[in-house]
Amino acid sequence: MNRSRISPTAPTAADAAQALSSPAAGRRRILTAGAAGVLSVAAPSIVRAQSDWPSKPVRMVVPFPAGGGADLGARSVATHLGAVFGKPVVVENRAGADGAVAALEVQKSAPDGHTIYFGTATSMTYVPNLKRNPPYDPIADFTPISGFCIFTFYLMVAPTIPARTAAEFVAHVKANPGKLSYATGNSTGILAFGQLLQSNGLDMVHVPYKGEAQAAIDLIGGRIQAMFATPAIMPQLLKADFKPVAVLLPTRTKTMPEVPTMVEAGLPLVNILPWGGLFGPAKLPRDLTERISRDFGGVMRRQDVIEQYEKLGLFPSPSSPQAMADLLKEQLAVWGRTMRALNIPLE
């Protein structure tokens, strides 16, 4: 395992404070924009949408392997959307390269509404900020259609740590600098834990994994003491007596209402937003974008969909195309500033 340390002293405190400023406006926007109705779309209209659209099945490209929570959520929405569209919506799993494989598949597709993309903060904000030569421009190469969902991440602490709260965990780490390890299996985990360390002056050993499933093995085996985990591995960790001490969301969840938010837990600077959005290729016609956004929003506001998503650890966040475009621009800047503040090297 490749081990590295994140220095809690670089960059300066002033730089960190600026870089880790709260994206509260973006959080409020994506969680509430669905109720505001469909507004104008940022992408230009080039032709009127065909009245016979869709003329064939619609592809929903998903940057996750089949079977996970996000994939199941996408498939649920695809089924309902197919009924609304009058043509099947087929989920196409294109996992790999932090979502870049899926994004590139959509980027090269025709802007005719027959290919849509379940984009995430990883592919649309992390990858463009990580690469010296980004494989695509998240703003110029895609058409924002709607917000999709917010992903749930819990800060999980091993039973060997004498801490029942986030504050007790921070205090224990401070008393044992460099002696404890944390795991990451995705970009959200990397940035959220980096924020946690830097904003509290903590020193822990970073053990990166290619995915949460691999990390869970070492967590349960006692070799790692903490992690930001999604509901996909929560049952395993809870069975092993790991403790959820905070949730990376602006509100508490219905599934674990006893777990406080980062703000409530005294960690307001741990504020990375793990969002998902619906996108099409660049130059998707305005009226077609608005129609897909409107139909998608109707499905995501169904009570049965909301309840199913909550069980999967996902929170529907449908919005207007313009609200999604605004959030993308904001989060692209927020993730970039955070990555620079954490000295994450370019690839």
In a shared domain, residues 118 and 212: no
345 three-state secondary structure: coil
The reply to whether 221 falls in a domain is yes
For 261, list phi and psi in degrees, rounded to 5.
-75, 170
Please report the DSSP string for 187-248 in residue order: HHHHHHHHHHHHHHT---EEEE-SSHHHHHHHHHTTS--EEEE-TTTHHHHHHTT-EEEEES
In a shared domain, residues 195 and 330: no
Considering its fold, how many domains does the chain have in total? 2
The reply to whether 13 falls in a domain is no
pTM of this structure = 0.82
In a shared domain, residues 240 and 108: no
The span from the CA of 233 to the CA of 214, in Å, is 10
pLDDT of residue 51: 66
In a shared domain, residues 42 and 138: yes
pLDDT of residue 52: 84
In a shared domain, residues 281 and 228: no
The reply to whether 265 falls in a domain is no
Residues of the chain with pLDDT under 50: 1-49
In a shared domain, residues 33 and 62: yes
pLDDT of residue 18: 34
The reply to whether 71 falls in a domain is yes
In a shared domain, residues 74 and 90: yes
In a shared domain, residues 143 and 38: yes
In a shared domain, residues 134 and 169: no
The reply to whether 18 falls in a domain is no
The reply to whether 1 falls in a domain is no
pLDDT of residue 8: 35
In a shared domain, residues 183 and 327: no
In a shared domain, residues 39 and 142: yes
The span from the CA of 259 to the CA of 297, in Å, is 29
The reply to whether 191 falls in a domain is yes
pLDDT of residue 83: 96
In a shared domain, residues 159 and 145: no
Q: What is the DSSP letter of 35?
A: G
Domain region containing 227: 153-247
